[in-house]
Structure 1
Amino acid sequence: MLYIIIPVFNRWRYTRACLDSLRAQTNQDFRVIVVDDGSTDETAAALARAYPEVEVVTGDGNLFWTAGVNRGIERALALGADRVLTLNNDVLTAPDFVAQMLTTAAQRPTAVLGALEFDADTGQAIYGGERLDFRTNTRHDLLDVLPPSQRTGLHPVTYLPGRGLLIPKAVIDKIGLFDEQRLPHYLADFDYTSVARRAGFPVYCNYDAQLSTYPEESGQTLTRKHRSAKGYYQHLFGIRGGGNMVNFTHFALKNCPAPYLPYFLLNGYARRLVGYFLH
């Protein structure tokens, strides 16, 4: 059984739209677990009233993304999950999203799978996976090189984000849960999928499974819209900071091949120090 894990903190309107898109799936062979990390809006009451089929795990407001996902995965495994799928609450799944994921999972039972993402407002494809050259710390976005006619099927990638990420139980059994101690929020998803790939599990972006997101609502985007000294510090060191230097260091030490590590670290630090002002 597939269990879909959705960590949430407030923003009920997004959660409701996400759950409604799951209710509209052509394949209903899944269960949903929402990890409500101490929401102060109507989330708890609305879930109980309008979505009784959803299993709810509650937190005290200090889980953040990684621990929230981990608590959801632990609950899913206790309920008998043989695969889990992490999903952000500000995501809308295409009607055949689950069907496409499960079809591919049946064909590639040990593969970690991500999805092709579109901008919910414009309908434009915005993320189709990437490959990272650790030697030069250079990202290669697959959407930049794949013509529309080739945006189908599976494409191998270096890592994947957690917004629409299918993980077989075999992966969890071998490498454990997400690294909530060193990567409590950002980079935990890229780290986990990179570790899985290095452990021998194929990692693909599944272009046949599609979802829509709101890129302007990401924490990194919102922080950069209102630049300030405080925002700069949060960007570099805050737990939700998209350029968090400590998180990047942990990611690099865990995933970058040793011969390339010095340059990878220096280049990454430089990009984070100036990147806040360039986007």
Structure 2
Amino acid sequence: MSFLRTLLAFSLLFQGQGGHSQSSQSLKQEVDKVLYLDSKVDFERSPGISIALFIGDSTYTFHYGRADRAAATAPTDTTLYELGEVTQLFTAVLIHRLAGQGLLELEGVVEKYLSVPDSSLAHLSVRQCLRHRSGLPRLPEGFGERIVDPDNPYGNYSTQTFLTQLTAPVLHSGEPATYRFSNLNYALLGALAAQRQGQTYDRLLRDQVLDPLGLSWTHLQEDSAFLRFYAAGYDKSGKQTARWQLEAFEPALGLRSNLLDLIRFCRLFL
């Protein structure tokens, strides 16, 4: 999966007043220093890197390495990366938009909007999931045992399978849980939103977030129209791998995007 071996970075560095007088070349020298000296980026592990810097109203982009080693192509502003857990920012925006429209309540319990077999989820609130305070584990219990294809570990994990096998710690109503990062939180939120609205998560995200914000490059399902823009992914041995199919975990891990859309997305919140 490319987000494992191709680093996507977008930074808010150099926002001081003095930054406005810096040239693109001097900024690149600063970025070079961070990459090569301070961070000592390993281009064997992260073959391609794309960076955006915001300075006032100006945006600068820099690219390093290769988007595809075999083709020896360099990344550009349009290179599409698998965002991995950055996807959760977009799912959070979706949930807040639905709440703003009165379609769900952040303090509402999960089972109010989603049919789940495990009664221990009854006390989990939407807000707890948003903040990773649900107490859910990072991955479902026994997840590794159910992997059919190691190169596509989520490929056979449908939303129905996910909801059927999901279990949660019993939390007393109103009792705050400590922070515990879990992809399950956002898989659950995506399923909740889709079931609540009677739409697929893909369609709902497109209608509520991506299209209204003008994020035309950002998408979930692999699209033939974008094939030439995808960065290649590599495993730990350096072997090129296929792009993962995320199924139930699309709301937590599944988006693909590029600097053009991520810059636009970030600017909306600055």
Does TM, scored on the shorter chain, surpass 0.5? Answer: no
Higher relative strand content: 1
Larger RCO of the pair (alpha carbons < 8 Å, separation 6+): 2
TM-score, normalised to structure 2, is 0.27
Larger Rg: 2
TM-score, normalised to structure 1, is 0.26
